[in-house]
Structure 1
Amino acid sequence: MRATILIISPDRFEAPGMELFDFPPIFAGGPEWLTKPVLIALLSSVVVIALCWAAFARPATVPRGWQNLGEYAYTFVRDEIARPHLGKDTDRWMGLLFSVFLTVLVWNLMGVIPLIQLPLAAYIAFPAVIAISVYVIKIYLGVRHHGLLGYLRGIIHLPGLPGWAYGLYAPLILAEVLISSLFTHFVRLCANMFAGHMLLAFFSSVGFWFLFEKLTPLGAGVGVLGVLMTILLTALEMFIQFLQAYLFAMLAAMYISSGLRGGH
């Protein structure tokens, strides 16, 4: 697997670009789909399964170690993500929401792990798969519990809205609930991870170039600034990675709730 942090020319500094996300097959002549992002996806699945197994396979009355960490994460997802939106249906959907939160969080954290340094959610196909799955569940629940017409009626109903205004309001709210909500679910996550990875790659490249490749008295200050910015942005990026996993799982809970309740 090749490194993704530095894009260096022998004669001049070149800022990182889209080549950071372009990976050939792992093995020469191997299948085109077997690339570094695919390996990271498989590794992320193993990590999530291993964490849950270590935390919950043999639960003790007094939690310690991995169980303590797992119960803290589970409680966070239940109380801060699921329960505010799903209420009495929380426990039924906790398996899905807990898996979504952990998976997206691990995907994101791969961007700051040495030698990996690639947030998987920056590839739009990966969060799109989860978002589409949640979307299908939302529509299925809405039609199953309320019928097609009842579900659509629940979406467009707005107490106090004059009848003549529904001609304008109904198409807009239907487009938001049935179309744009799907794309905003995964595009927000992808865009944040993509932008964060590009910023980290840029400043780390600046530090490496001016401190190691082309060290000069004048350029040393720029190199030090690049290193300091890389450190600060890494800390900020870790916070954003957690925040985006939280928002992604929270939106999943909201959409599932909208299907169950038949509203928007």
Structure 2
Amino acid sequence: MNLLAAIATGSLQASGDNEFHAPTIEEFFPDPILFGGTPFEINRVIMVRLISVAVLCTILVLYSRRAKLIPGRAQGSVEMLLDFSRKSIGEELLGKNAGPYQPLLASMFLGILFMNLTGIIPGLQIASTSIIGMPIIYAVLAYVAFIYAGIKSHGTFNFFKSQLFPPGVPKPIYILMTPIELLSTFVLRPLTLTIRLLANMVSGHLLLVLCFVGTNALYLSMGGVGGLALGTLTLVGGIAFTAFEAFVACLQAYIFALLTAAYISLSIEEH
């Protein structure tokens, strides 16, 4: 059962006892593995990010090079994900305007999906998006795409005018509305994208660690019938929450890409 706790926390070092240690925020700031004390420091979270990117790139390269007219299971799975991002995200919200933005939306969806799913893979066991750096990067990409699409469609002046001064509103109302539009459109949007993704991945990881480390402590420290019963309960809960975390990982990737498409749609359409 020590192995179970180690898998849950992503640590390969034994704690030295079987007592329960509640997960803390330090879970997300592990010691460096390589290049410690330099700007190129790599810890477990960075390593997991690199692994997820390498796996995704390998899958896509193999798909592009080995694609056949009649797809096999592997090719069909990749095409299903790409078609989902195209039809259910891009075309669903952008319609005929989806083409230029589809590569960005597909990259966001697949990138976030693979980075989220590392949170339930034994040996990795931490979502690559559970540290604020990656959610911020994806949110900035969505923010830049939203502004770029609006400027491309309407021009710089008309875009910002339409966003900050919606037509058809009595002029005195702009005194109240324009600061609200500025805050909600150009400040809160990237913040909400970042916080939504980050909070879901952090809470999911802490919940899984709590269940599996609690199982380890109950089985080995408490012992007896009571420890066995409670440990089994937390073990079953951990397995159930693992399945739920897989669902949340997929859902958050979809929501992030969907909101990006929605913001781009709002920027290119006339009010």
Fold shared per TM-score above 0.5: yes
Cα offset, 1:255, TM superposition: 2.4
Report the secondary structure of 1:26's partner residue.
strand
Separation of aligned partners in 2, 1:224 and 1:197? 20
Cα offset, 1:138, TM superposition: 1.9
For the aligned residue pairs, the C-alpha RMSD in angstroms reads 2.3
Report the secondary structure of 1:10's partner residue.
coil
**Pairing partner for 1:22 from 8, 22, 29:** 29
* Aligned residue runs from structure 1 range 1-264, under 5 A: 4=9, 10=17, 12-27=19-34, 31=38, 33-158=41-166, 160-261=168-269
* TM-score for both structures, normalised by structure 1: 0.90
Contact 1:8 1:209 in 2 (8 A): no
Q: Structure 1 stretch 117-126 or stretch 146-155: which is displaced more?
A: 146-155
Q: Structure 1 stretch 164-173 or stretch 76-85: which is displaced more?
A: 164-173
Report the secondary structure of 1:129's partner residue.
helix
Contact 1:8 1:14 in 2 (8 A): no
Cα offset, 1:40, TM superposition: 1.2
Structure 1 gaps of 5+ residues are none
Contact 2:18 2:221 in 1 (8 A): no
Report the secondary structure of 2:203's partner residue.
helix
Structure 2 gaps of 5+ residues are 1-5
Cα offset, 1:211, TM superposition: 0.9
Contact 1:26 1:34 in 2 (8 A): yes
Q: Residue 82 and residue 48 in structure 1: after superposition, are their counterparts in 2 closer, same or farther (change >3 A)? A: same
Separation of aligned partners in 2, 1:189 and 1:231? 22
Q: Residue 234 and residue 29 in structure 1: after superposition, are their counterparts in 2 closer, same or farther (change >3 A)? A: closer
Separation of aligned partners in 2, 1:5 and 1:25? 14
Once the two structures are aligned, what percentage of the paired residues are identical? 31
Separation of aligned partners in 2, 1:34 and 1:5? 15
Corresponding position of 2:3: none
Q: Residue 65 and residue 53 in structure 1: after superposition, are their counterparts in 2 closer, same or farther (change >3 A)? A: farther
Separation of aligned partners in 1, 2:264 and 2:132? 22
How many residues align? The count is 262
Report the secondary structure of 1:115's partner residue.
coil
Q: Residue 245 and residue 184 in structure 1: after superposition, are their counterparts in 2 closer, same or farther (change >3 A)? A: same
Separation of aligned partners in 1, 2:97 and 2:168? 29
Paired residue type of 1:124:
I
Per-residue CA shift, 1:33-68, capped at 9, x if unaligned? 211111111111111111112323232222222221
